[in-house]
Amino acid sequence: MLASEKDERIDIRLPASLKQQLGRAASYAGMPLSAFLISAASERARQVIHQQEEITLSQEDWEVFLRGLDEEGKAHPRLKEAARRYAKHLSK
């Protein structure tokens, strides 16, 4: 991340013991505290986003999914409702 890209700030309050623990961990990682916090928070954010937005299917489930895509016919009402809710979620 370039210095010019850093245009936002977050201020937090935390117990002194936690700040010491984070500082120690940052030192072991060879990083300044702020860089360590950004790295750790960024990684955790990626994990949470992945858990919420990615789907992993077994081979059997994948095959069932593909067969469903190949079938012609009308969409099930529950599928239509799920698509509507998803579109609404995206527009937030």
DSSP for the chain?
Answer: --GGG----------HHHHHHHHHHHHHHTS-HHHHHHHHHHHHHHHHHHHHH-----HHHHHHHHHHHH--SPPPHHHHHHHHHHHHHHT-
- Of residues 75 and 78, the one with the higher pLDDT is 78
pLDDT band at 3 (very low <50, low <70, confident <90, very high): low
pLDDT at residue 68 greater than cutoff 90 = no
pLDDT at position 2 over 90: no
- Taking each helix axis as running N to C, give the angle between helix 33-53 and helix 16-29, from 0 to 180 degrees, rounded to the nearest 10: 90
Confidence (pTM): 0.60
